[in-house]
């Protein structure tokens, strides 16, 4: 074509004539179409697609007939633009207003996977769904939008999923009327995949590992995977991991038990094993290979099915029935130790199979979950050790005593450590303690042990409940200081209640450090006054405490309980009423009371645990106790010996008479010599024989070793040698020295 070849002719009235073949080849406009256009319309059609760098046209008037001949004056400019159009790495296409393709560069044809003769002059909607441009172009035309950008999902010639970023421009003529549409198409599949992977991993970081529960974490992994990565996901964990045991190193033997922890997917594929059931992977299969070398695998289950699916008929059937066409198996491991494996399957919902690019993403999902599963395993291990330690520090069997019959229920939980105990005291009395530490783990269990030891040690000193709590408050402060200095867990506060029951007079004495008072169901129906006033602050607050004395009829019921049994407001009031109702049932033994409370109030175990202690009180019979009061006279010693021997003979305890009368005479002599005033002697026959000598002095007797030349000072030494144990108990009226001898 010559540089100044005439394309067409315009008459003086603007009609188009003499449309040449060259013009048709250059513009794509047929002669019949062009000659129906006015000059303005034609120029708009010519200039519209390249309006920013338009054709430079040269017009010359014919002197004979007045026609204007229009030629391409700057053909080289058009050639330059054509070169840009043809060589652009972005897909470029131009359409008329009927959405027929007028031009399509090689990049666009490559995206479509079609030759030019199957694309040009055809409606874009007829070119198939692999590049779905028609809806976008319709929006541009109907909305008269100057430009519109969208990301479109399509497929390449091999059926693989592709993502395209398409910008559509509305082209205008010289009179600003729409004349066509141009599109710029970029294949952004890799960028979209990278972004989708980043979004999936971000979602995984936010959704996986929300709890310290390995099973819950596995379920979260499966739920995240099936959102937009897989049709089906399953997670299997080693049984040892779920128990908190140390995970093994690879290779994992085929007989090592695993358990199906999670399964998410479509209805078309059923889990071979139900969630929670043991799962088994036949050897050799890709599953066992992953457990052996911890390397993820991309598997096409249809490539060579005879290689491994023939060994696992159950899975082969499910994979085929669900239309699974590709799968990735990735290990769940931390520090080279095996926790389990995760399997991702694609089927009808994701027609495009997994590729090698998806394997690192699947492995990253597995690694993210594995870290949280390992944290959950460590938590289970520590929690199990703490519970084991805590249980070992609690009494497995409460002591059997005449003063009370008991039954307890203890359920460990998280967030607090509960403890309780019964302490055998002097003179057939019993100490009852219940409390909690607001902490968990091994440190909390150790702290419980320290508190329980402290209570037992202070209790056998016969301290009244209020004084015992004051000393325990000091211990709580010391434990808190030690915990702060060592940067370890130390309970800054603790809650506790301590009570002492005397079966001789039927009195209950108790004090509380932040613990609710027990429910008292008296056998005589006389309900004691409210005990709420005795509730003092928790231990560790430098506080003092108050005692309350409650006379109890024999066979009264005491129900000690942790606040967690009642829950929180508003259900606490309703549950407390139910608790009182159960406790007030007549003729209920402690075991029946405990069972009824558990059945009624613990439909679901509370997360923070619960402690319950039911105590039925008993009174000693009158013939089990004998008491005398002797004046401060030397002759009272012989009278005391005589009465003690006579009482023991009446009880049939002649073999204990010599020891008892010797001890009584020594103690009464000490009262006469050192304390002054009358001496009260009391014998208590229970599981052991208790002898008490009381006076009104507060001086403390102490054991010393007399020298050879000393005439006295051997009394308490003799008492200690003849009895099983002895001690001193102080009261408001004075003191009591007591001794015990075991009875057969």
pLDDT tens figures, 553-610: 889 999 999 998 988 777 888 888 898 888 888 767 899 999 999 999 988 877 888 9
In a domain, 166, yes or no: yes
Out of 12-21, 156-165, 506-515, least confident range: 12-21
DSSP string spanning 144-211?
Answer: T-SEEEEEEEEE-TTS-EEEEEEEEEEEE-TTS-EEEEEEEEEE-HHHHHHHHHHHHHHHHHHHS-SS
For residue 435, with 0-12 CB atoms within 10 Å meaning exposed, 13-18 middle and 19 or more buried, which class applies? buried
Whether residue 530 sits in one domain with residue 407: yes
- For the residues 711-728, what does the mean pLDDT come to? 78
- Dist CA 183 CA 95 (whole Å): 8
In a domain, 386, yes or no: no
Whether residue 205 sits in one domain with residue 79: no
- Strand pairing category for 557-561 and 519-521: antiparallel
In a domain, 285, yes or no: yes
Whether residue 481 sits in one domain with residue 527: yes
- Dist CA 398 CA 403 (whole Å): 13
Beta bridge partners of 407: 614
Query: Residue 326 maps to which CATH number?
Result: 3.30.450.40
When the pLDDT of each residue in the chain is averaged and rounded to a whole number, the result is: 83
pLDDT given at position 305: 53
Q: 441 to each of 393, 395, 416, 448, how far by Cα in Å?
A: 14, 19, 9, 11
Whether residue 4 sits in one domain with residue 68: yes
Beta bridge partners of 172: 178
Query: Residue 176 maps to which CATH number?
Result: 3.30.450.20
Half-sphere exposure of 630 (CA within 13 A, CB side): 30
In a domain, 307, yes or no: yes
Whether residue 308 sits in one domain with residue 215: yes
Whether residue 250 sits in one domain with residue 147: no
Whether residue 635 sits in one domain with residue 717: yes
Of 356, 381, 406, the residue at which a domain comes to its end is 381
Query: Residue 69 maps to which CATH number?
Result: 3.30.450
Residue of 325, 239, 340, 334 whose CA lies nearest to 290:
340
Whether residue 363 sits in one domain with residue 414: no
Beta bridge partners of 740: 690, 725
Reported as a single tens digit per residue, the pLDDT across 187-244 is: 888 888 888 889 899 999 999 999 999 999 999 999 999 988 999 999 999 999 999 9
- For the residues 445-452, what does the mean pLDDT come to? 86
pLDDT bin (cut points 50, 70, 90) of residue 104 is confident
Query: Residue 401 maps to which CATH number?
Result: 3.60.40.10
Reported as a single tens digit per residue, the pLDDT across 25-65 is: 766 788 777 777 766 566 666 655 444 434 444 444 454 44
> How many domains, the chain?
5
Range of the domain at 256: 192-381
Residue of 593, 602, 600, 527 whose CA lies nearest to 560:
593
Whether residue 410 sits in one domain with residue 444: yes
Of 617, 642, 657, the residue at which a domain comes to its end is 617
Kindly report the pTM of this predicted structure.
Answer: 0.67
For residue 321, with 0-12 CB atoms within 10 Å meaning exposed, 13-18 middle and 19 or more buried, which class applies? exposed
Q: What percent of the chain has pLDDT over 70?
A: 85
- For the residues 457-476, what does the mean pLDDT come to? 93
Whether residue 418 sits in one domain with residue 433: yes
State phi, psi for 517 to the nearest 5 degrees. Answer: -65, 155
pLDDT given at position 51: 40
Of 566, 591, 617, the residue at which a domain comes to its end is 617
- Strand pairing category for 535-536 and 507-513: parallel
In a domain, 387, yes or no: no
In a domain, 136, yes or no: yes
pLDDT given at position 76: 47
pLDDT given at position 181: 86
In a domain, 176, yes or no: yes
pLDDT given at position 676: 77
pLDDT given at position 702: 64
Whether residue 92 sits in one domain with residue 81: no
Whether residue 120 sits in one domain with residue 61: no
* pLDDT greater than 70 at residue 363: yes
In a domain, 541, yes or no: yes
pLDDT bin (cut points 50, 70, 90) of residue 114 is confident
């Amino acid at each position: 074509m010559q540089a100044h070849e005439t394309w067409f002719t315009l008459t003086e009235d603007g009609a188009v004539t003499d449309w040449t073949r060259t013009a048709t080849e250059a513009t794509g406009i047929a002669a019949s179409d062009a000659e129906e256009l006015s000059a303005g319309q034609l120029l708009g059609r010519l200039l519209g697609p390249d309006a920013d760098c338009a054709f430079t046209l040269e017009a010359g008037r014919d002197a004979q007939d007045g026609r204007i001949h229009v030629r391409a004056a700057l053909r080289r400019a058009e050639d330059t633009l054509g070169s840009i159009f043809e060589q652009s790495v972005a897909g470029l296409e131009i359409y008329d207003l009927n959405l027929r393709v007028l031009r399509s560069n090689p990049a666009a044809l490559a995206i479509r996977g079609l030759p030019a003769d199957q694309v040009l002059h055809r409606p874009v909607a007829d070119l198939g769904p692999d590049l779905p441009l028609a809806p976008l172009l319709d929006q541009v035309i109907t909305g008269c939008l100057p430009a519109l950008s969208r990301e479109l999902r399509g497929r390449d010639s091999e059926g693989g999923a592709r993502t395209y970023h398409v910008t559509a421009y509305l082209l205008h003529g010289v009179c600003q009327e729409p004349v066509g549409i141009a599109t710029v198409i970029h294949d952004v599949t890799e960028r979209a995949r990278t972004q989708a992977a980043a979004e999936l991993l971000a979602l995984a970081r936010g959704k996986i590992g929300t709890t310290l529960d390995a099973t819950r974490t596995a379920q979260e992994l499966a739920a995240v995977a099936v959102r937009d990565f897989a049709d089906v996901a399953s997670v299997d964990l080693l049984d040892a991991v779920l128990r908190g045991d140390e995970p093994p190193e690879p290779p994992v033997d085929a007989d090592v038990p695993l358990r199906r922890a999670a399964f998410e997917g479509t209805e078309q594929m059923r889990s071979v094993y139900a969630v929670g059931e043991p799962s088994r992977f036949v050897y050799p299969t890709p599953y066992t290979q992953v457990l052996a070398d911890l390397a993820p695998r991309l598997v096409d289950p249809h490539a060579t099915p005879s290689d491994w699916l023939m060994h696992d008929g159950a899975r082969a059937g499910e994979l085929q029935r669900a239309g699974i066409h590709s799968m990735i198996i990735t290990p769940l491991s931390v520090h080279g130790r095996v926790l389990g494996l995760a399997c991702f399957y694609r089927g009808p919902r994701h027609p495009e199979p997994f590729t090698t690019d998806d394997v690192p993403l699947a492995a990253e999902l597995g690694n993210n979950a594995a870290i949280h599963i390992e944290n959950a395993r460590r938590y289970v291990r520590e929690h199990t050790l703490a519970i084991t330690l805590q249980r070992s520090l609690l009494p497995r069997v409460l002591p059997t005593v005449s003063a009370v019959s008991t039954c307890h229920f203890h359920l460990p939980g998280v967030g607090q450590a509960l403890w309780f105990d019964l302490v055998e005291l002097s003179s057939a009395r019993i100490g009852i303690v219940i409390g909690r530490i607001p902490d968990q783990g091994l440190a909390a269990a150790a702290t419980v042990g320290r508190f329980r030891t402290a209570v037992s040690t202070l209790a056998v000193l016969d301290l009244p409940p209020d004084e015992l709590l004051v000393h325990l408050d000091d211990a709580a402060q010391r434990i808190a200081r030690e915990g702060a200095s060592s940067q370890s867990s130390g309970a800054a506060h603790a809650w506790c209640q301590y009570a002492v029951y005397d079966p001789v007079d039927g009195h209950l004495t108790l004090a509380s450090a932040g613990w609710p008072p027990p429910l008292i169901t008296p056998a005589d129906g006389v309900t004691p006054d409210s005990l709420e006033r005795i509730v003092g602050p928790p231990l560790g607050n430098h506080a003092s405490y108050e005692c309350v004395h409650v006379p109890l009829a024999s066979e009264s019921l005491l129900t000690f309980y942790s606040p967690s049994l009642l829950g929180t407001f508003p259900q606490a009031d309703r549950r407390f009423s139910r608790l009182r109702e159960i406790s007030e049932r007549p003729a209920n033994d402690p075991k029946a009371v405990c069972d009824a409370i558990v059945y009624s109030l613990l439909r679901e175990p509370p997360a923070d645990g619960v402690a319950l202690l039911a105590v039925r009180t008993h009174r000693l019979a009158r013939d089990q106790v004998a008491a005398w009061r002797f004046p401060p006279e030397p002759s009272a010693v012989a009278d005391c010996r005589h009465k003690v021997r006579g009482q023991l003979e009446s009880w049939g305890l002649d073999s204990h008479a010599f020891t008892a009368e010797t001890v009584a005479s020594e103690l009464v002599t000490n009262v006469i010599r050192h304390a002054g005033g009358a001496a009260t002697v009391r014998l208590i026959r229970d599981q052991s024989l208790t002898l008490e000598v009381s006076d009104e002095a507060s001086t403390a007797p102490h054991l010393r070793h007399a020298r050879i030349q000393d005439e006295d000072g051997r009394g308490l030494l003799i008492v200690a040698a003849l009895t099983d144990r002895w001690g001193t108990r102080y009261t408001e009226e004075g003191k009591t020295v007591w001794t015990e001898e075991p009875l057969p």
